[in-house]
Each structure stands twice: as C-alpha cells, then as structure tokens.
Amino acid sequence: MKAAYSSPELWLIILHLPLLALSSDCDNRNVFLACNTLQASLGRSIIQDNHGPDYQSTITGAWNLFNTQFQPTCIVFPRQSSHVQVAMQSIYTFDVNYAVQAGGHSAMKGWNNVNDGILISFKFMNNISYNPSKDTIILEPAVRWGESVTALESQGVSPVGGRVDDVGTGLLLGGGLSFLSPTHGYAADNYVELDVVLVDGTLVTATASNEYSDLFRALKGGANRFGVVTRYEVRAIHTGSLIDKTWFGGSIAYPNTSFDAVAQAVSRYTRDVSDPNAAILVYFAAIALPDASLTNLAIANLYYNGTSQLPENIFGEFLSIPSIPESTMLTSLSWPDIAFSLTEPLPSDGHGQTFACTVLAGDEDDSLYVDVVREWTNFTTSFRQEFNTSVLAFTPIPVSQIMIGRERGGNAFDSNHSSVIVPYNQIHVQVTLPLGVPQMSPEMEEGRQLFIKQAPRSLGFPLYINECDAEQNVFETYGQYEFLKQTYMKYDPTRFNIRRTAGPPGL
Ligand SMILES: Cc1cc2nc3c(=O)[nH]c(=O)nc-3n(C[C@H](O)[C@H](O)[C@H](O)COP(=O)(O)OP(=O)(O)OC[C@H]3O[C@@H](n4cnc5c(N)ncnc54)[C@H](O)[C@@H]3O)c2cc1C
Ligand SMILES: *[C@@H]1O[C@H](CO)[C@@H](O)[C@H](O)[C@H]1NC(C)=O
Ligand SMILES: *[C@@H]1O[C@H](CO)[C@@H](O)[C@H](O)[C@H]1NC(C)=O
Ligand SMILES: *[C@@H]1O[C@H](CO)[C@@H](O)[C@H](O)[C@H]1NC(C)=O
Ligand SMILES: *[C@@H]1O[C@H](CO)[C@@H](O)[C@H](O)[C@H]1NC(C)=O
Ligand SMILES: *[C@@H]1O[C@H](CO)[C@@H](O)[C@H](O)[C@H]1NC(C)=O
Ligand SMILES: *[C@@H]1O[C@H](CO)[C@@H](O)[C@H](O)[C@H]1NC(C)=O
C-alpha cells in the first residue's frame, strides 16, 4: 500500500480528480447546449428530449435489453442527410458523446445508445427503391431486411442483406452474411455508392473509383467508426418473386447425441464445398426449461439454388446424420420464402443479450470444430440456471465469396495474402438472459470470457465484427488493418469517434 501511495501515477490521478469532475459537468452543459441549439434550428419533431412523442419508444425499441438502459439528452430523428449534417456539426463543435441507431440489433452494450449524449435515430428514414436503369437498390438506414424483400418482391429483386428479417442496415457496415453471399459476396461487397456524413458534418458520396474510394472500402467492415451513412446504393440481385421456386432446402434438426457428427460435417463442408449455389447456416442451441434443465439441439439450414433436391455430393453428410425426422422440413423455395423462413427468433426484445465470436479455417482439423461445440456445451451446462437460450452458429465462407470481395476492389477484412485463398468459418455465440434480467452475473461473464479465450481460433482469418464481443479486438484480425488505421486517421484526424462514441477498439 505504501508503495502505491508514493507512485507518481497515483498522485497524478489524485491531482486531476477535481478537474475530471469539472470536465464531466462541462460535458453535461455542452450536451444541453448542443440539444438546445439543434432544437432551435431543426425543430421539436426532429430534435426530441425525453418528453418528445418518439423518445420512449425509441429507447425501449432496441433489441438488446442492455441497450434500452440509456437516457440520451436528446434524440435526433433525421428525415434527410442535411439533418444529420447539422446534428454532427453540433455534436462535433460542442464535443459531446453520441450514438447512431438504425435497426437497433447491436448486441454490444452502448454501441447504439448513449447516456448524457445525443442519439441519432434513423427511425423515419426508411425508404426503399429499385432503380432499373442502374440495376441498383437504394436503402435508407432504417430499412430492415424483411421489409426490403417485401417491398421489392414484385420487381423480382433483393439486396444482399442478412438472414433474419428484423435486422437492419448496420449489418452492412460490418460485412454482412446472407444466404446469397456464396454467389454474391458479403453484403458490403455489393455497395455501389454511399452517402456519408463525416464527423464534422461534411457530406460526401463515396464510390469504388472516386476520391473517397478509401472511405468506401473502409466502410466494408469498419463498422460505426468512419462516419454516419445516410444512404446505401447497392447492387440489385435478381432473386425472383414469390412464385419463382428456384431453390430447394429448409432445415434439419438433430438431437444432442449427433453434435460431434454435425460439427465434423460443418468442418468438411467448409473445407470441401466450393459450389456457390449452396448456402448453409448450422447452429447449436441450448434452451433453458422452466425446471432449469436444458434442451439441446442442432439445426442445419441447407439451401441450394437451381435443383429440385439437395445434391448428395454437397449435403450427403448432413442428410445421413441421425436427425429428428418430425422436425425436418425440406421443400422447393423461392428467395422470399427463404428470406422469411428465419423470422426474428423468440426470445427477442426485452432480453439482455451478448455476442462473442471465433473463426476457424477450412483447412483445420475437424476436431477443432468439435472442440468449439464441446466448450460451448460445457459453458451452457455450467450456467444453465442463468440464461434463457444460447446459440452457437457456424457460417462457412467459401472461396467464391472471398473472390467477389477482391474483384470489387476489396473490403477491410479480407486477408492480404493473394496467393492461396483458404475458405473459413465465422463462428458466433449468443447468450440470451431470461426476460427482464438487467445484467449478466459476474460468474457467468467470467465463464463467457473463458470460452472466448479457450475456443480454438485460426490466426490470419478475420473475426466477424457484427457478431463478436465488444472487447474482442476484431480490427486487429483484419488483413487490411494498416489500411484501416491510415484511413481512419485521414477521415477522423482528431479521433473524435474513438473519444465520443462507443464501438470497436483497435483503431
Ligand atoms: C437476431 C439477429 C440476427 C442476426 N443475423 C445476422 C445475419 O444473418 N447476418 C449478419 O451478417 N449479421 C447478423 N446479425 C448481426 C447484425 O449484423 C448486427 O447486429 C448489426 O450490427 C445490426 O444492425 P442494425 O442496424 O440492426 O443495428 P444497430 O444497433 O442500429 O446498428 C449496429 C451498429 O452500426 C452502427 N450504425 C448503424 N447504422 C449506421 C449508420 N447509418 N452510420 C453509421 N453507423 C451506423 C450503430 O451505431 C451500431 O454500432 C444478427 C443479429 C441479430 C440480433
Ligand atoms: C423513395 O425514393 C424514391 C426514389 O428516390 C422516390 O421516388 C420516393 O418518392 C421516395 N418515397 C418516399 C416516401 O420518400
Ligand atoms: C439461381 O440460379 C439461377 C440459374 O440456375 C440463376 O439464374 C439465378 O441468378 C440464381 N439466383 C441467385 C439469387 O443467384
Ligand atoms: C443430451 O442432453 C441430455 C439432457 O440435457 C443430457 O442428459 C445428455 O447427457 C446429453 N447427451 C450428450 C451426448 O451430450
Ligand atoms: C425464454 O424467453 C421466452 C420469450 O420471452 C419465454 O417465452 C420463455 O418462457 C423463456 N424461458 C425461460 C426458461 O425463461
Ligand atoms: C467448463 O466451464 C467451467 C465454468 O466456466 C470452467 O470452470 C471449466 O474450466 C470448463 N471446463 C473446460 C474443460 O473447459
Ligand atoms: C497483412 O496482414 C497481416 C496480418 O494478417 C499484417 O501483419 C501485415 O502487416 C499485412 N500487410 C500489409 C501489406 O498490409
């Protein structure tokens, strides 16, 4: 103790205490000033304090209960880019904390809401349109993937988005995994043009070939660090309408006695399957029952575009593992059918949620996939009284998907080794707490961190930022990490976003 008191660092901290307190008062004063200034220029329906008509429903609308536990000083509800420009000018000059919310599905606490700061909610910017002359789709930030499929179904097109209908466009900024991705790339690889409001309020339009091409590339994986996107123009995929049943597939459910076999099948699929018409999502679920016992099962979602059955040479192993026949559903499907087969799984809103991730290369030993499942099973068994559900999900990233990213000028996360392209598997762990439980117990959090630390991971492959834990240093795993850091310095030289908004570490 004596030694600690004489340490110069400690004295520095003590000397600065009154200053810190002062600076936080000053922060609060600045937020009120910024909100008042904004309300004077944009009015009371665009800038709302906690008495405003849309304030409460916005706060409680976040998917993760943890992200409803915030009280922004005011919320900005832009109707057009210029409102975001005005808001960012104030946020920047008054130097205050802020957050941005689109579809509200971030599992990372504080990444889409803020205390004593300003929230920009895109709630009222949700236009979707198809431009046949450019063959592109224009999405405003509040669009959710299900809405985009519904709105464009009659025109036979869809964006590459997500797999669950209720998730929003924040998905694009982290990369974006869709069942269309093996054929058409990560969702972000389909950008054509982005309108971006930079930290100081400047509006720029970024494309693959204009003076903002570096920003354009950084926004394919750079998450919320590089600016506020107010308009996405993306490639239109000709997916067909509801009656065009060009796909075949659905889901197979397996009992926990098949877990090792399913994990091995995922490993071999990731390594061997290169046909871009095939897409899968395999997940293991632990569901708590009221008597604190667990139900365990695995689900394989298997899809193939172009045949009236699942090709044996691709899906044979999944088809032969002992399954629960009465839960198996395989049939002819259109793209809209697939888009709506994974509706928001219950439980959704009202539950505390956490994400964590790892990644395994396709050329790893099958036993590493089995190990991930076993370690997750140990975790869920150890804490079975403390959660509602937990899911461990595997998404193979085939070579075709990686190639598309490269052909279109590259994204931020792809490996920078050009010679041999190795497929890999993005692995995601979700924990859903019981309804209304406001935080995870320290013991369970420790167990979760132990899982993150112990789970096998292949080096040289990118973690998937949208599905990791807030503390995992994902950017560091990106092949274009150096490029990302340089581009960040260029577009945010005062490191405003690092200081004033929560998001991924590492820049
Ligand atoms: C049930 C569920 C299913 C999922 N399924 C998939 C899936 O199939 N494929 C997949 O790839 N991912 C999936 N995800 C992960 C998903 O990609 C992320 O949760 C994503 O960040 C959600 O985006 P959002 O707009 O809904 O959320 P938000 O919380 O609103 O946004 C996410 C992050 O992006 C930032 N952001 C949002 N919009 C902007 C903008 N316009 N400008 C700047 N920053 C912005 C936010 O500040 C926040 O940090 C799923 C998540 C959930 C909860
Ligand atoms: C949506 O965008 C299209 C194309 O820009 C435009 O014609 C339409 O008026 C917009 N709709 C709304 C409700 O703003
Ligand atoms: C599905 O396959 C058909 C040809 O078999 C192709 O024309 C179509 O573009 C594919 N759909 C998608 C969404 O890639
Ligand atoms: C499957 O789950 C049951 C019920 O939770 C459990 O008793 C059994 O040990 C599990 N079997 C395996 C192989 O994990
Ligand atoms: C899990 O959450 C769902 C949806 O909120 C609820 O119906 C179910 O009863 C919960 N299960 C437990 C064991 O709490
Ligand atoms: C199983 O989980 C518990 C709780 O987190 C942990 O203490 C233990 O080390 C884990 N066992 C293995 C083999 O990982
Ligand atoms: C390539 O990526 C590795 C990390 O995967 C990194 O160490 C190296 O600096 C990168 N090289 C270039 C030229 O970006």
| Model confidence pTM above 0.75 | yes
Is 177 a pocket residue for ligand 1 (Cβ < 6 Å)? yes
**Burial class of 417 by CB neighbour count within 10 A (0 to 12, 13 to 18, 19+):** exposed
Name the least confident of 17-26, 180-189, 242-251.
Answer: 17-26
How many whole angstroms from 127 Cα to the centroid of ligand 2? 6
Is 170 a pocket residue for ligand 1 (Cβ < 6 Å)? yes
State which of 64, 100, 355 you would mutate to test the pocket of ligand 1, scoring each by most atoms of that ligand within 8 A of its C-beta. Answer: 100
Question: Whats the size of the chain, residue-wise?
Answer: 507
Question: For ligand 1, what atom is nearest to the CA of residue 226?
Answer: 43
Please report which ligand is nearest the Cα atom of 231.
Answer: 1
* Whole-number pLDDT of residue 416: 72
What would the 3-class secondary structure string for 318-384 be? Answer: HHHCCCCHHHCEEEEECHHHHHCCCCCCCCCCCECEEEEEEEEECCCCHHHHHHHHHHHHHHHHHCC
State which of 59, 98, 106, 163 you would mutate to test the pocket of ligand 1, scoring each by most atoms of that ligand within 8 A of its C-beta. Answer: 106
Report the alpha-carbon distance of residue 212 to residue 202 in Å, rounded: 13
Residue list, ligand 6 pocket, CB within 6 Å = 375, 378-379, 382, 447, 450, 454
For 47-102, how does the pLDDT look when each residue is reduced to its tens digit (9 = 90+)?
999 999 999 999 999 999 999 999 999 999 999 999 999 999 999 999 999 999 99
Across the range 130-151, mean pLDDT stands at 98
Instruction: Look at ligand 5, atom 4, and give the residue with the nearest C-alpha.
Output: 347
For 246-282, how does the pLDDT look when each residue is reduced to its tens digit (9 = 90+)?
999 999 999 999 999 999 999 999 999 999 999 999 9
State which of 75, 81, 112, 196 you would mutate to test the pocket of ligand 1, scoring each by most atoms of that ligand within 8 A of its C-beta. Answer: 112
How many whole angstroms from 303 Cα to the centroid of ligand 4? 29
Confidence band, pLDDT 50/70/90 cuts, at residue 5: very low
What are the contacts of 121-124 at 24+ separation with CB within 8 A? Answer: 121/54, 121/58, 121/75, 121/76, 121/77, 122/78, 123/54, 123/58, 123/77, 124/77, 124/78, 124/79
Q: Which residues of 237-255 are buried (b: 16+ CB within 10 A; e: fewer)?
A: bebbeeeeebbbbbbbbbe
Report the alpha-carbon distance of residue 490 to residue 485 in Å, rounded: 9
Instruction: Look at ligand 2, atom 9, and give the residue with the nearest C-alpha.
Output: 127
How many whole angstroms from 185 Cα to the centroid of ligand 3? 14
